[in-house]
Amino acid sequence: MEENRKKVIVIGVIGADVHAVGNTILYHSFTEAGFEVVNLGVMVSQEEYIAAAIESNADAIVISSLYGQGELDCQGMREKCNEAGLKDIPLLVGGNIVIGKQEWSEVEKRFKAMGFDRAFGPGTDPAVTIAALHELLD
């Protein structure tokens, strides 16, 4: 039974962000790609991702942010995961995760320094994230 278990990912839009459309698209794309998706919707706090990941024994957490405050909202997420016993759980983040137009390589570097395994910029095709998830989880 264990071998057949679908990979579980927790998704949601972090912080005070209420952009619901992209979240719904991701939910359907990830589900169709064969993942078991726990969708927390919009305005999700770090603690909610972590609680959901613990109960569902999630394999990865995928965080969306569309309103520019993602960098602030994501700070300390890795540390909290470690504290909660989710050591080394893959963390992915994507969307308009910083304010304004910034050099992507710099942005990516900063999110990786925060403990994120992958960071994706605006307009990323869900297929790219799915490929990354397979790379991290298979």
Residue ranges that bind other proteins, judged by CB under 8 A? 1, 5-6, 8, 10, 16-19, 36, 38, 40-43, 48, 51-52, 54-58, 67-68
Minimum gap (Å) between residue 126 Cβ and other proteins: 21
**Smaller CB distance to other proteins: residue 43 or 107?**
43
Minimum gap (Å) between residue 138 Cβ and other proteins: 18
Annotated active-site residue 19? The verdict is: yes
Contact 62, 7 (CB under 8 A): no
What are the angstrom distances between the C-alpha of 19 and each of 12, 15, 103, 111?
A: 10, 11, 24, 21
Minimum gap (Å) between residue 129 Cβ and other proteins: 20
Q: CA 43, CA 128: separation in Å to the nearest integer? A: 24
Q: CA 26, CA 5: separation in Å to the nearest integer? A: 20
Annotated active-site residue 125? The verdict is: no
Question: Catalytic residue numbers?
Answer: 17, 19
